[in-house]
Chains A and B, each alone.
Chain A
Amino acid sequence: MPTTETGKSSTESEVSGLDYEETQLTLAPPGGSKSEPEKKRGFSESIDLRLGRPALEAHAKDPASGSSHGPVSGAGKSPASKAQVVGWPPVRSFRRNALRSCTYVKVAVDGTPYLRKVDLDAYAGYQQLLTALEEMLSCFTARDYTNERRLVDPVNGAEYVPTYEDKDGDWMLVGWWMFLLHARD
Chain B
Amino acid sequence: MVRGFGWAAAFPDEVWEHVFSFLAADADRNAVALVCRAWHRIERRSRRRVFVGNCYAVAPAAAVRRFPEVRAAAIKGKPHFADFNLVPTDWGGGAEAWVEAMAEGWPHLEELRLKRMVVSDDCLELIARSFKNFGVLSLVSCDGFSTAGLAAIAANCRNLRELDLHENEVEDNCLNWISHFPESFTSLVSLNIACLEGDVNTSVLECLISRCPNLKTLRLNHAMPLEKLVSLLQRAPQLVDVGTSKFSADHHPELFSKLESTFAGFKHLKSLSGIWEAGPTYLPAIYSVCESLTSLNLCYATIQSPELLKFVSRCKNLQRLWVMDLIEDNGLIAVAASCKLLQELRVFPSDPYGVAPPISLTEHGLVAISAGCLMLHSVLYFCRQMTNAALLTIANNRPNLTCFRLCIIEPHTPDYISQEPLDAGFSAIVESCKDLRRLSLSGLLTDRVFKSIGASANRLEMLSVAFAGDSDAGLHYILSGCKNLRKLEIRDCPFGDKALLDNASKLETMRSLWMSSCSVTLGACRQLALKMPRLNVEVIDERRGRPLESWPDDFPVEKLYIYRTVAGPRSDTPPCVWTV
Binding site for B on A (CB under 8 A): 1, 3-4, 6-8, 10-11, 14, 56, 59, 61-62, 64-72, 74, 77, 81, 84-96, 98-99, 101-102, 121, 124
Contacts and interface: CB of A to CB of B under 8 A. Distances in A.
Contact of B350 (A59, A87, A93, A99): A99
- How many of chain B's residues touch chain A, expressed as a range? 35 or more
Contacts of B494: 62, 64-65, 67-70, 72
A74 B422 CA distance: 11
Given A56-B85, A68-B519, A102-B277, 6 more contacts: A11-B358, A62-B492, A64-B494, A87-B85, A88-B411, A89-B409
A1 B491 CA distance: 24
Nearest to A86: B85
Nearest to A68: B496
A74 B85 contact: no
B169 A94 contact: yes
A3 B354 contact: no
A124 B354 CA distance: 10
Nearest 8 interchain pairs by C-beta: A7-B358, A87-B84, A68-B496, A74-B444, A94-B167, A71-B470, A74-B412, A64-B494
B14 interface: no
Contact of B355 (A3, A4, A11, A87): A11
A70 B470 contact: yes
B226 interface: no
Contact of B302 (A70, A84, A92, A102): A102
B256 to A, nearest CB: 17
B354 A65 contact: no
Q: Which residue of A3, A14, A94 has the most chain B CB atoms within 10 A of its CB atom?
A: A3
B414 interface: yes
A85 to B, nearest CB: 7
A89 B352 contact: yes
17 contacts: A7-B358, A10-B410, A11-B357, A14-B355, A62-B467, A67-B519, A69-B494, A72-B412, A72-B444, A72-B494, A74-B421, A87-B85, A91-B352, A92-B84, A98-B222, A99-B350, A121-B355
A1 B472 CA distance: 27
Q: Which residue of A56, A71, A124 has the most chain B CB atoms within 10 A of its CB atom?
A: A71
A102 B300 CA distance: 9
B573 interface: no
B532 interface: no
B535 interface: no
A98 B300 contact: yes
Q: Which residue of A7, A11, A121 has the most chain B CB atoms within 10 A of its CB atom?
A: A7
B419 A93 contact: no
Nearest to B167: A94
B466 interface: yes
B407 interface: yes
Interface string B463-501: 010111111100000000000000000011111111000
Contact of B354 (A7, A62, A64, A81): A7
A4 to B, nearest CB: 5
B455 to A, nearest CB: 21
Q: Which residue of A6, A61, A70, A87 has the most chain B CB atoms within 10 A of its CB atom?
A: A87
Nearest to B83: A92
A68 B498 contact: yes
Interface in B379-407: 382, 384, 407
Contacts of A121: 355
Contacts of B302: 99, 102
B84 A88 contact: yes
B81 interface: yes
B543 to A, nearest CB: 11
B354 to A, nearest CB: 6
A1 to B, nearest CB: 7
Contact of A77 (B81, B412, B469): B412
Interface in B90-120: none
B214 interface: no
Nearest to A98: B300
Contacts of B416: 3-4
A70 B472 CA distance: 10
Contact of A68 (B277, B444, B468, B471): B471
A150 B472 CA distance: 60
Q: Which residue of A8, A69, A84 has the most chain B CB atoms within 10 A of its CB atom?
A: A69
B413 interface: yes
Nearest to A96: B352
B243 interface: no
A4 B471 contact: no
B411 A81 contact: yes
Contacts of B276: 98, 102
B80 to A, nearest CB: 9
B358 A6 contact: yes
A68 B355 contact: no
B24 interface: no
A64 B470 contact: yes
